[in-house]
Each structure stands twice: as C-alpha cells, then as structure tokens.
Structure 1
C-alpha cells in the first residue's frame, strides 16, 4: 500500500494569499479534495490522508507530525502564490537528492503538460513541511492570485481540474501507481426470457429518446440504455428513465 499525505496549505484563521476575489486556503482545499478522489478512484493499493478536509486551522507542526506518525511514503503540500509573479513552481528541501528530486522532476513535468502556466522552475527552500517530514516531500505553487491572468484561470473549475489531473498524473508516474481495472456503470430497464419482449421494451425506450440496445446475458435478454465510467452519469440517466416510466436500475460490469 502506497501512503500519500496531501497537505492543502493554510486554512481557518490563516487565509494564505489573497487577491482578485480569491483566497489561497479555499483553492488549495479544492485541489486537494479532488486529487484525493482521483487517486482513490483510479488507482489501486493507494491510501490517502489529508492534513485538513475543511476550512480549519492546522499548524505546520500538526501537519508534519500527522504525516510522520502515519508513515506516509510521500508528502505533497499544495499552495497558491502571490507577490507579483505569474506561473507554476515547486520546491523540495535544500540538499536532498533522489528519490525526492526524481519525484519532483516527474511531477513538475506532468503538471506543466496539462496546465497553461509559465514554468517558473524547480526550486529549493527551507520550508517547515519540507524540512520536518521524514519522507520525500514536495510543495507546489499553482499560479498567483494577485496576477489577473493567473487569477482568471484559477476561477475556472475546468482549469482547477487540469491542475488536479497534472498532480495526479505526476504522482502516479513518480510512485509507479497501478490503474484500477475499468468499471462501467450500466443502466438497465428490463430483462426477459423472451427476446420479443426485450425488443418491444427497447423500441419503447428508443421512441422516448433513449439509446436502447438488447443484450443476451445470463440466459436473459436485457435492455440497456447506457454505460458510463462515472456513477453520477449513470444515476442521472437512470433517473431520466424512471421519470419516463421505466423501471431503471444500475449495475456494475
């Protein structure tokens, strides 16, 4: 099991950087929560712990103590910058070598593949969360809230998702995480021993705008109207089908 500790910077009484209607503490938590979900949903043999899961005050010592006590394999501290610059940069502790530097190189590369930020480079610093952690640790700075161009990007949920995906891709590649087998959530509205009954129900569904198909499986003719990798999308279609009068349910395959 690979243990990944994610630290959304600031929080509670410490807002972090502010500018253009944005606060660092909210952005870092948004990124961290979404990153946790991707890692747990898409990769196997991964455990994730966060330093905070809400807008709460957590000291630097509490953050590093939690990661050290848990025995994390990797520590990621997520931040957003201020001070008049623009772009993305990251930090490791001064003087450390592999594997920390190797992890940082990979994550830096993967983030900038998918995020439209200027590359401010790979840096070192004597930050508490980098110095006091006993595992490889990286701190990322994702744009400047006091730069209008960066701030406008950070206000976009699509752009935030790109930041999240870049971090996830980098962590997965750096730590050699294995993808879970693909799971599909299928929406079914009927199952029959007679094919004619299934064909009739499929025709009714098509007449109401659903993309219905008949599949023979487990000795039954089953009427399916959709298959999704996202459970939420399957649930939305199932509700539409129920609203249209069909007895819909979701199963995994």
Structure 2
C-alpha cells in the first residue's frame, strides 16, 4: 500500500494569495480533496493522507512532521501563485533534491500541463520548507495565478479545477506505477464532490449567492456543525422577515426565545 501525502497550502487565518474574488486556501483545499477521492477511487493499493481536510491553519513544521511520521512515500504540496505577470503553471523541488524528487516533479509537471495547458513556467528548484524538510520525494505545485485575471477566471471554472486534479492524479499514478481498478473493483456510484449535480446547479448557485453555503464541496456529506450554521442563517433571515426591514431583529430574537421557553 502506497501512502501519498497531499498538503493543501495555507488555511484558516492564512488565506494565502487573495485577488479577483479568490482565496488560495479555498482552491487548494478543493484540489487536495479531489486528488484524494480520485486516487483512492480509481487506483489499487494507495492511501492518500491530507495535511488538512477543512479550513484550518497549520504551521509548516507541523505539516512536514506529520508527513514524515506517517511514513508517506511521496509528498505533494498544492498552491496557487501570485505576482507572476502573465501567469501560468510551475512546480518546485528542493535545491538539493534527490533523484526521486526530480523524477516525481517531472511526472507531475508533464501530467498537469498536459491537462491544464496554458503557460508553462517550468520545473524549478528552490529552498522551500515543504520540499526541504520532507524525508520522502517531495514537490510543490503552483497552479495558476489568482492575481492574473485570465488565470483567475480559469480557476473559477469547475472544468479547470477538474483538470488540475486529474493532472496531479495522473502524475502521482505514473510515478508510483499504480494499477487502475477494474470496473468490478470500483464503487457502483462515484462522483466528484467539487462539482454540483446537474439537477442541483441552479439551486446551488442561489444558496451560495445568498450566503447559506460558501460554494465549496457541493457533493460532500454535511456535518452537524455545518447543519447548525446553515440553520442559524435561515433562522436569522426569518427573524428579519418577521421584524420587517426597519424592525429590530435583536428584539425579535429575544421575543422568540421567550416564546420558546414558555412553550
């Protein structure tokens, strides 16, 4: 069983690069979860571990420490870029990278560019924590620029996110020599949790625009915490409706609590 460590950069109080209505931390989390789901669904004998699966902040040292402790076979750190002029895709290994890190970078870079297209900024080496402190072959990918309008517009498209995910999956599978599952091995029903079902697209856009959901992971299971948040947002909107545009929502909230206690 191969262990693949996928690191979604930034998170929580650290949004990463922010521009054109995009936060890096959101894009890379969606991509990371997509990579995990697709790799495990489509290939045999692979386990994908995530630095984070929610919007939380982790120190760099904690990310690599966990990956090293888990005995991961490879590490891929997912990022979006900023400040790059014309934009595009690039990947990084450590300045004194092992031969296996170089091979992993080559497989990943070519697979992602094959799916993503656009400007190829090249395979580069840099003294970055995630690729320096990892004990296994490690690569960091920079998937388009949030502050370049053309790239930002692409990052808002589900098909582009899907291409980024697919490129990472194919690159990892090629490096590790993973074997694809047969149809008999795959679950009867599979879907990409980052893409809304056709029948729900319009409703999903509406509830996102109205602030009930943040627009990410439309196909994921909802937690009790998320249910509580959505229910509370609905409750507050009902109070506003009852109180009227010029009413006092706080007073209405207190009156409602009093009624609930009495009953």
TM bucket (normalised to shorter chain) is: 0.7 to 0.9
Instruction: State the 1:232 CA deviation.
Output: 5.8
TM-score normalised according to structure 1 size: 0.73
| 2:53 alignment partner in structure 1 | 53
Structure 1 position 117 matched with structure 2 position 106:
no
Instruction: State the 1:98 CA deviation.
Output: 1.1
- Tell me how many residue pairs correspond in the alignment: 192
In structure 2, distance between residues paired with 1:150 and 1:120: 13
Deviation beyond 6 Å, 4+ runs, structure 1: none
Structure 1 position 35 matched with structure 2 position 63:
no
Instruction: State the 1:84 CA deviation.
Output: 3.5
Instruction: State the 1:231 CA deviation.
Output: 4.3
Matches within 5 A, 1:220-239: 230-231=189-190
Question: More strand by proportion, 1 or 2?
Answer: 1
| 1:135 alignment partner in structure 2 | 136
RMSD over aligned Cα atoms: 1.8
| 1:181 alignment partner in structure 2 | 182
Matches within 5 A, 1:146-225: 146-183=147-184
Matches within 5 A, 1:232-247: none
8 Å contact from structure 2 (residues 94, 127) kept in 1:
yes
In structure 1, distance between residues paired with 2:95 and 2:188: 42
Instruction: State the 1:153 CA deviation.
Output: 0.2
Question: More helix by proportion, 1 or 2?
Answer: 2
Cα 1:229/1:134, change in 2 over 3 Å: same
8 Å contact from structure 1 (residues 4, 73) kept in 2:
yes
Structure 1 position 62 matched with structure 2 position 70:
no
Once the two structures are superposed, residues 218-253 of structure 1 have per-residue CA deviations (whole angstroms, 9 ceiling, x without a partner) of: xxxxxxxxxx964469xx9xxxxxxxxxxxxxxxxx
8 Å contact from structure 2 (residues 116, 164) kept in 1:
yes
In structure 1, distance between residues paired with 2:154 and 2:57: 27
Cα 1:135/1:158, change in 2 over 3 Å: same
TM-score normalised according to structure 2 size: 0.70
Structure 1 position 103 matched with structure 2 position 95:
no
8 Å contact from structure 1 (residues 117, 143) kept in 2:
no
In structure 2, distance between residues paired with 1:104 and 1:134: 15
Unaligned regions of 5+ residues in structure 1, if any? 186-227, 237-253
In structure 1, distance between residues paired with 2:188 and 2:94: 39
Instruction: State the 1:181 CA deviation.
Output: 1.4
Structure number with greater Rg is 1
In structure 2, distance between residues paired with 1:21 and 1:117: 21
8 Å contact from structure 1 (residues 184, 230) kept in 2:
no
**Partner secondary structure for residue 105 of structure 1:** helix
**Partner secondary structure for residue 183 of structure 1:** coil
